[in-house]
């Protein structure tokens, strides 16, 4: 890091505290002089040219799960790992992966229109014409179906969109819904539609969200053109991800498999994604009331709710095959603590050619692995064992990582130190998320990596963004808190099984903010041509990603004392408790206000009789909840983490030379994240065991923190909220007790 930068960052007492602590925890215990400089040496090695070459090779042909080139890539990655000095192998599983056998959608009234369901090749884009190897556009894990029904437009298809429909007396029962992509994860749309009685679901990409409203469309610009379609999984992953037939266990050949009829994660209704060229005639023919302003997309039509007179016939049939997963697992043995594993991963499979998703992340990970191999040739030996894993089948349902974690659950409980994930990455700001016990490590590394465009540290640029775009609290935090806050993890990539099923501290690392890759996301146009024309064109941010993640891997592997830090975790937990209290209070206030307005006759008075809305029904005000156990436990954790920090600082000089003490301390620290899990799992979804972080049951990828409590309040299940408060409090108490046990070891 530039020393001038460092002075600048240390000009307030809080910053000094954060910086000093970060420096000590991460590095100073790996005291031996020959080790101290390895991560700086490492950062000089990654070369953007190589990253571009790996991407070009891996995205040269479509390589979805089960395809010939998917396997070819896995074998190529395996050979590369070996060439770079890693001990590598392919681990396989057998998973259920439906691919389209028949797809047809037509409007049968008021006029006839047959949807094309095709993305055309572009003359300027050399891989867009690889028709025979491309997976057609579809949503994986939709059920088969043959349905004909009137159409209803449901905006983004979230629960609150159905409240709007209810106020107009519009039901989707027996209808086919058309939802637009965006605002919630796609799998939520058919799930909520089916809960409301719909019998089919179409999902289209509106130009307002990722098309011509945002920027020029492909091939003139990066955004989605009229024929572009977003493929993607609609499996009910908030219930459990991975192979639908083998929940909770690895999908090995002899694993016990569910009968298809007992699988709960397939959709309940047939679903298909379409382009806006295909959607427009259907939407244009809808009548019924005109939708409110925030429901309108950017097509040159007046948007109506329906139902009908557009009547749609959709017929879908899939090949319900079992296909092999090829995870490539590379290992570099640790010299001092070989039984402690630091794990890094990115998926290698794509929906089609996948240059951005996953190529931008995967090729950076490969360059990291090459650079670490290079470092080993220069004499470096990681103290802990490194595992670098290229996952298969991420796109369908995090299949490769989930099956591997389920298969190796016992080993991971004993040996896993941390898991660092990446996936599609871009140009701009460093955007880390993950376990808050790793927040300080993330910050310390981010201060040491240079932003390719501004030459300031990636930390400094991320800080500037928070100040520029943040709320008042976020600005003040970014200026005065020692560490930038990292976001919590929901789902959407391969960390889920590590963190949420198995309690392994995890991070997801990426850059972004300037380029929108959304415009080709999961289409045939996410390819090398698009990436090198519109995104991280010189792979400079690919290099930055390799530098950030590789440096973290080295510090995790070499630090004598594991670089976990708990005062930041405790601080974040306190903010979650306050958020929940505010959530309940806001709900109480909102219900009280609405009940009052109903009494006052406000809804009747402001109603437009030509476009009448039904008045909402009065509701019972949410009861008070007892947050005391949670407040007490959060305070206990705050105190225990401070005691631990103090004890670590005091013990540091003698600890460095006491191998036995270090081992004992590290062994306990490795169990710290797991204290935040509960084997019973979350209500309605036992696969998810982490009590602080989960994807939302009704939002999909987006995170819900303290999900048991938060979702119970949102779903108005107040008795459950009270019992979940107690369960989270117990987990925080376990964490505090574990830290106290480490503190006593240090004394």
Give contact residues for Zn ion (rule: CB under 5 A): 357-358, 423
Find out whether 222 and 530 touch, Cβ atoms under 8 Å.
yes
Name which of 395 and 724 has its Cβ closer to Zn ion: 395
Choose between 368 and 423: whose C-beta lies nearer to Zn ion: 423
Residue whose tokens read 């031996």: 32
Q: Closest separation between CB of residue 672 and Zn ion, Å?
A: 29
Q: Kindly state the smallest distance separating residue 431's Cβ from Zn ion, in Å.
A: 15
Task: Please spell the DSSP secondary structure of 527-582, one letter per residue.
Answer: SHHHHHHHSSTT-HHHHHHHHHHHHHHHHHHH-SS-----HHHHHHHHHHHHHHHH
The CA-based angle 658-663-669, given to 5 degrees, is: 125
To Zn ion, the closest distance from the beta carbon of 492 in angstroms equals: 8
Q: How far is the CB of 214 from Zn ion (least distance, A)?
A: 21
CB of 133 to Zn ion, least distance (A): 19
Residue 8 burial (CB count, 10 A): 12
Pick 149 or 399: Cβ nearer Zn ion: 399
Q: Minimal distance in Å, beta carbon 552 to Zn ion?
A: 20
Q: Are 165 and 189 a contacting pair, CB within 8 Å? A: no
Nearer to Zn ion, 234 or 559 (CB): 234
Q: What residues pair up with 139 in beta bridges, in sequence order? A: 232
CA angle 276, 277, 278 (to 5 degrees): 85
- Comparing CA positions, the residue from 433, 397, 398, 396 lying closest to residue 703 is 433
Q: What angle do CA 507, 513, 518 make, to 5 degrees?
A: 95
Nearer to Zn ion, 327 or 641 (CB): 327
Q: Where are the alpha helices (DSSP H) in 430-481?
A: 439-446, 458-469, 472-480
Alpha-carbon span 486 to 488, nearest angstrom: 7
What is the β-pairing status of strands 200-204 and 176-180? Answer: parallel
DSSP 676: G
Residues 6+ apart with CB under 8 A from 170: 152, 288, 289, 305, 306, 307
Taking the least distance from each CB to Zn ion, the nearer of 487 and 659 is 487
Nearer to Zn ion, 358 or 482 (CB): 358
Nearer to Zn ion, 308 or 434 (CB): 434
Report how far residue 705's alpha carbon sits from residue 682's, in angstroms, rounded to the nearest whole number. Answer: 12
- Nearest approach in angstroms of CB 170 to Zn ion is 36
Give CB contacts under 8 A, 24+ apart, made by 579-586: 579/705, 579/710, 580/627, 580/630, 580/706, 580/709, 580/710, 580/713, 581/627, 583/710, 583/713, 583/714, 584/622, 584/625, 584/713
Nearer to Zn ion, 64 or 383 (CB): 64
- Rounded-to-10 torsion of CA 464, 466, 469, 471: -140
For residue 397, count CB atoms less than 10 angstroms from its CB and return exposed for 0-12, middle for 13-18, buried for 19 or more.
buried
CA nearest to 269, candidates 244, 245, 241, 234: 234
| Best CA proximity match to 454, nearest among 513, 530, 509 | 513
Q: How far is the CB of 424 from Zn ion (least distance, A)?
A: 5
CB of 526 to Zn ion, least distance (A): 10
- Is the CB of 84 or the CB of 351 nearer to Zn ion? 351
- Considering beta carbons, is residue 334 or 542 the nearer one to Zn ion? 542
Of the pair 125, 423, the CB lying nearest Zn ion is at: 423
Q: Which residues pair with 92 in a beta bridge?
A: 326
> How far apart are CB 361 and Zn ion at their closest, in Å?
7
Q: Which two tokens stand for residue 657?
A: 């030379």
CB of 362 to Zn ion, least distance (A): 9
Minimum gap (Å) between residue 41 Cβ and Zn ion: 30
Dihedral angle of Cα 195, 201, 206, 211, to the nearest 10 degrees: 110
User: Using CA of residue 281, residue 287, residue 289, residue 290, what is the dihedral sign?
Assistant: positive
Residue 346 burial by Cβ neighbours in a 10 Å radius (0-12, 13-18, 19+) = buried
Which residue lies nearer to Zn ion by CB, 423 or 483? 423
Closest CB 726 distance from Zn ion, rounded Å: 37
- Closer by beta carbon to Zn ion, 246 or else 517: 517
**Shortest separation between residue 163's beta carbon and Zn ion, angstroms:** 32
């Amino acid at each position: 890091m530039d020393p001038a930068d460092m002075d600048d960052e240390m000009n307030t007492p809080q910053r000094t505290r954060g910086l000093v602590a970060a420096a000590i925890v991460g590095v100073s215990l790996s005291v031996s002089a020959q080790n101290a400089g390895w991560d700086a040496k490492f950062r000089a090695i990654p070369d953007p040219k190589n990253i571009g070459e790996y991407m070009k090779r891996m995205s040269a042909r479509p390589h979805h799960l089960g395809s010939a080139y998917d396997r070819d890539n896995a074998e190529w990655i395996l050979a590369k790992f070996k060439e770079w000095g890693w001990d590598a192998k392919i681990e396989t599983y057998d998973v259920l992966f439906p691919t389209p056998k028949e797809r047809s959608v037509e409007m049968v009234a008021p006029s006839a229109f047959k949807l094309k369901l095709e993305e055309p090749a572009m003359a300027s884009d050399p891989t867009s014409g690889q028709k025979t190897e491309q997976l057609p556009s579809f949503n994986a894990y939709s059920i088969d179906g043959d349905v004909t029904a009137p159409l209803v437009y449901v905006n983004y298809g979230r629960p609150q969109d159905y409240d709007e429909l209810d106020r107009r007396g519009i039901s989707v029962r027996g209808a086919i819904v058309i939802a637009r992509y965006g605002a919630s994860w796609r799998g939520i749309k058919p799930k909520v539609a089916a809960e409301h009685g719909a019998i089919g679901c179409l999902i289209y990409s509106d130009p307002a969200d990722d098309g011509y409203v945002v920027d020029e469309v492909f091939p003139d610009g990066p955004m989605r053109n009229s024929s572009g379609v977003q493929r993607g999984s609609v499996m009910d992953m908030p219930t459990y991800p991975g192979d639908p037939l083998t929940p909770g266990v690895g999908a090995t050949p002899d694993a016990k498999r569910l009968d298809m009829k007992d699988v709960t994660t397939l959709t309940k209704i047939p679903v298909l994604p379409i382009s806006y060229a295909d959607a427009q005639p259907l939407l244009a023919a809808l009548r019924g009331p005109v939708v409110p302003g925030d429901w309108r997309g950017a097509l040159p039509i007046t948007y109506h709710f329906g139902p009908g007179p557009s009547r749609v016939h959709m017929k879908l049939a899939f090949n319900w095959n079992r296909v092999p997963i090829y995870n490539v697992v590379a290992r570099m043995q640790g010299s001092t603590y070989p039984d402690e594993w630091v794990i890094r991963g990115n998926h290698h499979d794509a929906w089609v050619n996948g240059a951005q998703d996953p190529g931008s992340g995967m090729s950076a990970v490969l360059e990291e692995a090459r650079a670490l191999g290079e470092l080993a040739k220069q004499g470096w030996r990681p103290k802990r064992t490194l595992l670098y894993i290229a996952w298969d089948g991420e796109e369908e349902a995090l299949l490769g990582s989930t099956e591997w974690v389920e298969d190796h659950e016992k080993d991971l409980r004993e040996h896993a130190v941390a898991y660092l994930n990446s996936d599609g990455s871009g140009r701009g700001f460093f955007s880390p998320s993950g376990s808050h016990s790793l927040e300080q490590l993330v910050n310390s590394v981010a201060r040491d990596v240079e932003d390719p465009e501004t030459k300031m540290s990636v930390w400094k640029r991320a800080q500037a963004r928070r100040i520029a775009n943040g709320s008042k609290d976020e600005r003040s935090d970014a200026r005065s808190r020692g560490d930038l806050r990292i976001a919590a993890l929901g789902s959407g990539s391969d960390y889920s099984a590590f963190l949420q099923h198995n309690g392994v501290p995890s991070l997801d690392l990426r850059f972004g903010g300037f380029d929108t890759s959304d415009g080709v996301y999961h289409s045939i146009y996410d390819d090398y041509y698009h990436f090198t024309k519109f995104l991280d064109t010189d792979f400079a941010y690919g290099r930055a990603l390799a530098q950030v993640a590789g440096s973290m891997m080295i510090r995790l592997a070499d630090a004598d004392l594991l670089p976990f830090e708990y005062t930041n975790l405790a601080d974040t937990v306190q903010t979650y408790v306050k958020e929940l209290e505010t959530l309940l209070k806001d709900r109480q206030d909102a219900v009280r206000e609405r009940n009052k307005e109903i009494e006052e006759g406000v809804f009747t008075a402001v109603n437009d009789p030509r476009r009448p809305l039904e008045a909402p029904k009065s509701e019972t005000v949410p009861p008070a909840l007892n947050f005391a156990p949670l407040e007490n436990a959060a305070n206990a954790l705050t105190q225990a983490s401070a005691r631990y920090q103090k004890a670590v600082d005091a013990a540091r000089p003698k600890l460095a030379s006491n191998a036995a003490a270090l081992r004992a301390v590290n062994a306990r620290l490795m169990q710290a994240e797991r204290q935040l899990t509960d084997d019973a799992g979350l209500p309605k979804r036992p696969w998810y065991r982490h009590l602080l972080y989960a994807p939302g049951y009704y939002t999909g990828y987006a995170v819900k923190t303290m999900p048991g409590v938060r979702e119970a309040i949102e779903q108005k299940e107040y008795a459950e909220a009270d019992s979940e408060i107690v369960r989270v409090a117990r987990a925080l108490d376990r964490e505090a007790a574990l830290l106290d046990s480490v503190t006593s070891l240090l004394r």
